[in-house]
């Protein structure tokens, strides 16, 4: 039977120390906090793409500017899109390209 992760707390995230290699801690339902050897901490969502059934990772934001509550809220929104059959990483890339194109045209 799979182990169900206990949700992280803000205090636990602040206490995470950098190691020799990047590592991650699970908050549950695909939300992870990654800790770089440099000490940078950031949230990412890992999900199974509806388009090609591969596991993909979408970076959400750096901690503490992007809080745990914000990450959970964003995870909820993105989960809805994945359930509707949208590949959120691909959608994000398309939006970035469109924004860049608008800036280049200006």
Mean residue pLDDT of the chain comes to 91
| Sequence spans of domains, the chain | 10-105
44 close to 58: Cβ distance less than 8 angstroms: yes
- Whether residue 99 is predicted with pLDDT greater than 80 in this model: the reply is no
31-35, 64-68, 92-96: least confidently modelled range: 92-96
Name the more confident of 93 and 48. Answer: 48
Which residues sit opposite 85 in a β-bridge?
none
* Domain at 10-105: CATH code: 3.30.160.390
Query: Residue 64 — φ and ψ, nearest 5°?
Result: -95, -5
Residue 66 DSSP symbol: S
Give pLDDT tens digits for 15-60: 999 999 999 999 999 999 999 999 999 999 999 998 899 999 999 9
So what's the pLDDT on residue 2?
A: 75
- How does residue 3 score in pLDDT terms, banded at 50, 70 and 90? confident
The pTM (predicted TM-score) of the whole model is: 0.86
Closest CA to 10 of 59, 69, 60, 61: 69
């Amino acid at each position: 039977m799979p182990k169900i992760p206990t949700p992280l707390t803000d205090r636990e995230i602040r206490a995470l120390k950098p190691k020799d290699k990047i590592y991650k801690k699970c908050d549950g339902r695909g939300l992870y906090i990654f800790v770089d050897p440099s000490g940078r901490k950031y949230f990412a969502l890992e999900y199974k793409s509806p388009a090609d059934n591969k596991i993909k990772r979408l970076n959400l934001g750096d901690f503490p500017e992007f809080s745990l509550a914000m990450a959970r809220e964003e995870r909820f929104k993105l989960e809805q899109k994945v359930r509707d059959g949208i590949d959120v990483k691909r959608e994000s890339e398309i939006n970035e390209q469109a924004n860049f194109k608008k800036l280049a045209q200006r």
